Each structure stands twice: as C-alpha cells, then as structure tokens.
Chains A and B, each alone.
Chain A
C-alpha cells in the first residue's frame, strides 16, 4: 500500500514537472523540446512578436464523427497551414466536457502555443484552460463559448440576438404571423441552443408583432436521430393545429424534416441545418421553405486567424483590438464586448439557404 502511494506521488510529480516544463519552454513554441531550450533565453515572455511559422496551433472541436465539426476543423487547419505553422486537430472521444479536459491536458503537456476550443460545457473547462493560460498558451473559443474567465476571446459564429431575431422572422414569415409553433432543440443543457432559444423568446416578448404566435412546446431530441424523430412525432400528435417547428440544431432539423416528409404533413420546418443534409427537404412545396446557418469552414478559418493574431501579439483579446483575417469577407475584424463580460469576435450574419442556392451549397458542406 505504501509503495503504491509513493509510486502515485512520483507519477504525479513527474506529470506536473512535465506540464510545468513544457509550459515555460512554450513561450516560443514548437513541440520539439530540444529546440525550445536554446531559443528560450533569446525570446521574451508572452505578448512579444513571434514567428508564426514556428508555432503550433491546436483546435479542439466538440466531438468526432460530425461533419459540421469536421468542416470547422478543416477551415482552421487550412488557414494555419497556409501560414506555414503546425496544426494539431484533437477531437475529444465524446461530446462531453470530461473528454475535452483529457484532450486539453495532453495539449498543454505537448506545449502548444495556442488552443482553440469549442466548449462542450461553459464552466467545466475553467480550471484546465486557466492552467493553459498560466503556461503561456493563448486560449480562444469558437462555436460554443466558455465563461469569460476561461478564455481570451470568443469567435462567435453570429450574434446570439441576431440569430434569435433571424429565426423569429422566419417563424413569423412562414406561419403568416399567427398560429402554434414549437421548438425542437438538442439536449436540455446545450449552451448554444439554450442561448438562441432564450433570444427568440426575448424577441417574441419584446414586440407586439408576434402576439398571435403561440410557442406551445420546447422539446429535446438529444441531437440523435431516434429521439428527435420521436419528439417530432409527439409534437404532431399533441398539437394538431401546429403550423411550424423550429429546430436550431443540425440533427434535429434533419430528423424532423424526414418525419414531416414521410407523413406528408402540412407542418413546416425551419431552423439551423447543414445544406448537404437538408437538400432533400428544401423546396417551395416541400417541408422546409428555407433555413439558416453560417459557414463552418469560415468559422474555423476565423478561429485560426484569431489564434494567430493572439500568438503574434497583434491582439490581446481586449475590446477594440483589430486584426486582418486574410481574404475573409469581413476582414479586418474587431474584438467587441460580449454579453457575458468577456470579449468576442463576430463572424457575420446567419446565411439563408433556400431552394435557389441549396444545390450549390450542398456540395460544399
């Protein structure tokens, strides 16, 4: 027993020293430990200009096996590699905060220069990400944010209020401004979806225009096809007068569209979805008149430029900082204050996919 405790302590000590060691050597980068030793003396600590090409940038998406996350990682990787730097894409085993912590800790011990993470939980990553920042690693979030203390800046796909407004406008337009509608979300804890749903509710309460719209239910399909299918069927059964389902999640909108099409229902669907998956359901007389999303490749690309700007010292993550993002549409981008007390960079407006452009985008992502 004693031996075991000693062994455990030694292991802990070893890991700690590795983490600390990598952290200090990491101010000037590269996973190659030997080269960092001699250059450590010449380069000053954090904030100073560095040669991007010598740096290692890591991206931690929400989970593996999801084409949306894959597209984000692809955009990120291409931008990083175009700058001549090294890119590490580390998918967590599952879409949970625990799995991300494991991945993050391994990245910290590898001594990367920057971590961009799409958080599976707003608060759970705080200790790990602060450890990373203490070790001199630049931490930014994209897609799904952490709390303000765990990041330097958040790359937001679109302003939360704007998404709420856009989706409410779609609901208003498709229903003709009156009648029953429902929301099919991901899991009940999903930070993104909850924020958007809240934004939609705020929009609805804040304007008399929406007074004739009745939000009858919010159901959760857990971002899996089977529960999403079942919840959609239950909605149709419980509310025979339902006119529209709004699903602000890619799995949900796809599963619900399939149910509506199978049942030849008059109920319409809109929300946020992937064009390649929604192509079969979009059309004038089809179940989905139009839906929204942003380009995940662009989001990944912007996350990459943000990470590079942080590492090179062009920005610190404070509001008012501006930086160039290559040939991206809205470049240069400006860091602005976020509603949670931190700062963020906004990619742009949600993009509408309709019968006219769906075929073209379905080939892209």
Chain B
C-alpha cells in the first residue's frame, strides 16, 4: 500500500514527465547516432553546458521571487574579460585567486541589481536591462579591442580543459548547495514565500527587501563565477563572449517547470531542464540536422517540452482538486 503511494507520487510529480522526456530524447538520439550515449559525449555535454547549468540555479532563485535577471550574460562577460585581461598582461596568474576575483565582481554586480530592484522599487526586467548594457559595454571598454586566448591563458585553462574535473565539480557543488539551501534553510524558504505572495510574506515578518537583495547577489555570484569558468573552459575571453546566454538559462528554468510568475519551481526540475536543453543542443548536429536549421529545431523542441510540461501540470492540478472535492 505504502509502496504504491510512493510510486504514485513519483509518477504524479512534475519532474517525472521531464525524466521521461530526457529518456526519450536519449533513445532517439542514440538510435540516430549510436555514439551519442558514449561516456566522452556525456562528459562533453556537461562541460559545454556548465555555464548554463550553474547559472540556471541562480536564475531559479530570481524567478522564484517573481523577478527576472537578463544582465547575467553581461556580468559573465565583464568578470570574464577582467580575468582574461589580468592573465594577458600577466598581472595575476593564480587560478584560485582569479576565480575568487570573478566571484567578487559578480557579487558586486548582483548587489547593485538587488539594491535598485528592492530599495529603488524598479521592475527587475528594467533594472537588469540597464545593467545588461552597462556590464557588456564595460567588457568592451576593458578589452580595449583585445582578446585573451591561446598562449595568454595557458595554465589557467587547465582547470576547465577537456577531461579536467573542474567544471564537473563546480556543477555538482552548485546544484547540491542549491538543493539544500532552497529545501531546508530558512533563507531558501523565504525566497519561496516572497515569490508566492510578497504581501503575505511581509506581514508575517519577512524582510522582503533583504530576501530580494540576497537573491540577486546569489545570481551575480554565480554569473561572476561562470565568467572565470568560461575563460578557463574555452581558453578565450572576448567582450562578446556568451552573448545571449541569458535566454538559454531562462529556457532551462522554464523547461524545468519554473513558473515565470514566481513561487513555483525546484532545483531538481531546473537541473533536468538544463540537461534537456543541453541534450537538444548536442544532439542536433549529431543526428544530421543541417547547421542552418538547428536553431529552428531547437526552438520547436523547447516549446514542445514546455507545452507537455504545462499540460502535465494542469492534469495534476485537476487531480488534486478532484481529490479535495471528495
């Protein structure tokens, strides 16, 4: 009896439909190209999408509060460009310190976002839009028309090189920490409370402004971290790096069932969403879809997964309602 209810719970959970999608995608891709399921391929999927995955945890927090942050790719470029230039001109070459620096830059950027949104009462999309231009622009200014790549970042790029453990460790730590914080800590639960009903949260004694600020700080921190990581993985820092990445990050969250109006979403769902997006991106060139059509197919698949997810959600809601009526 108990076993049955556990099974029922699993099959009824929203994440379950994502797991099914993931498995179907893997099977289809493997049939079309048997090398898809190989260990190297799986490892590369995680490495190539490390940035999207890590930052989607931060975006999850932001979306949970009912906000959005479209400045993340710019923060990444700003932090990455500073790291790159320090390496190029041999000012600082310690990998660990450069990562710490990237994180600190990200935290400052996130803090500014949080302050303007909470204290200044500016809509998140507006505030982060402003910073999207500011940080990206600053990345160009800092670069002064130079790139850091190849010989400039030798040594530093070992951390994120193909086959190195660095990116995988960061992904694992961020997701595990995100899971624990959002599920079991006061700070994490407050994010959900603010997103579900900010007014109710305020009345029950939660400092909504403080919650908003640390949410954007978390997002900024992860973006800054990814700036440093990006330079290490791709051995290249260009001011236009990861242009448009914010859309992939938001897409990962949305595929993972995170609600754009706040209060609903989970770390597990986000992880699955990011993984599904990563698989789609990876599979398209491998199954022989023409290069120029890949983006279109990617868009169709994203929409299909989201629609499927929404339909499942609605069926669950109806089932819940029916149970209550009885």
Chain A residues in 8 Å Cβ range of B281 = 230
- Asked if residues B44 and A280 are in contact (CB atoms below 8 Å), the reply is no
- Asked if residues B238 and A225 are in contact (CB atoms below 8 Å), the reply is yes
Q: Which of B35, B44, B236 contacts A254 (CB 8 A)?
A: B236
Q: Is B300 an interface residue (CB 8 A)?
A: no
Chain B residues 10 to 26 lying within 8 A of chain A, measured CB to CB, are: none
Interface-lining segment among A60-68, A140-148, A336-344:
A60-68
- Asked if residues B234 and A229 are in contact (CB atoms below 8 Å), the reply is yes
- 22 CB contacts below 8 A, A to B, read A64-B140, A64-B239, A65-B139, A65-B140, A65-B145, A65-B238, A67-B145, A188-B291, A220-B291, A224-B243, A226-B48, A226-B242, A229-B234, A230-B285, A258-B234, A262-B162, A276-B150, A276-B151, A277-B151, A280-B150, A280-B151, A362-B151
- Asked if residues B234 and A225 are in contact (CB atoms below 8 Å), the reply is yes
Which residue of chain B is the closest to A231 with respect to CB atoms? B285
- Asked if residues A234 and B286 are in contact (CB atoms below 8 Å), the reply is yes
Which residue of chain B is the closest to A234 with respect to CB atoms? B285
- Interface residue count on the A side (C-beta < 8 Å): 36
Interface residue SS majority, chain A: helix
Would you give the 0/1 interface string for B88-108, flagging 1 where the beta carbon is closer than 8 Å to chain A?
000000000000000000000
- Asked if residues A238 and B147 are in contact (CB atoms below 8 Å), the reply is no
Chain B residues in 8 Å Cβ range of A238 = 33, 35, 285-286
Chain A residues in 8 Å Cβ range of B239 = 64-65
Task: Tell me the complex Cα distance, A251–B241, Å.
Answer: 11
Binding site for B on A (CB under 8 A): 63-67, 69-70, 188, 218-220, 224-226, 229-231, 233-234, 237-238, 251, 254-255, 257-259, 262-263, 276-281, 362
Task: Tell me the complex Cα distance, A225–B239, Å.
Answer: 12
Query: Separation in Å of the B52 CB from the closest CB of chain A?
Result: 10
Task: Tell me the complex Cα distance, A73–B291, Å.
Answer: 32
- Asked if residues A237 and B236 are in contact (CB atoms below 8 Å), the reply is no
Would you give the 0/1 interface string for B231-266, flagging 1 where the beta carbon is closer than 8 Å to chain A?
000111011111100000000000000000000000
Query: Separation in Å of the A191 CB from the closest CB of chain B?
Result: 15
Query: Separation in Å of the A121 CB from the closest CB of chain B?
Result: 16
Query: Separation in Å of the A88 CB from the closest CB of chain B?
Result: 16
Known contacts A226-B242, A237-B41; A218/B33 CB under 8 A:
no
Chain B residues in 8 Å Cβ range of A254 = 149-150, 236
Known: A65-B139, A238-B286. 15 other contacts (CB 8 A): A65-B143, A65-B238, A65-B240, A67-B147, A225-B234, A225-B241, A233-B48, A251-B238, A262-B162, A263-B163, A276-B150, A277-B147, A277-B150, A278-B150, A280-B151
Query: Separation in Å of the A143 CB from the closest CB of chain B?
Result: 15
Chain B residues in 8 Å Cβ range of A218 = 291
10 closest residue pairs by CB, A with B: A262-B162, A70-B145, A234-B285, A65-B239, A225-B234, A280-B150, A280-B151, A277-B150, A225-B236, A279-B151
Would you give the 0/1 interface string for B285-298, flagging 1 where the beta carbon is closer than 8 Å to chain A?
11000011000000
Task: Tell me the complex Cα distance, A231–B292, Å.
Answer: 12
Chain A residues in 8 Å Cβ range of B140 = 64-65
Chain A residues in 8 Å Cβ range of B234 = 225-226, 229, 255, 258
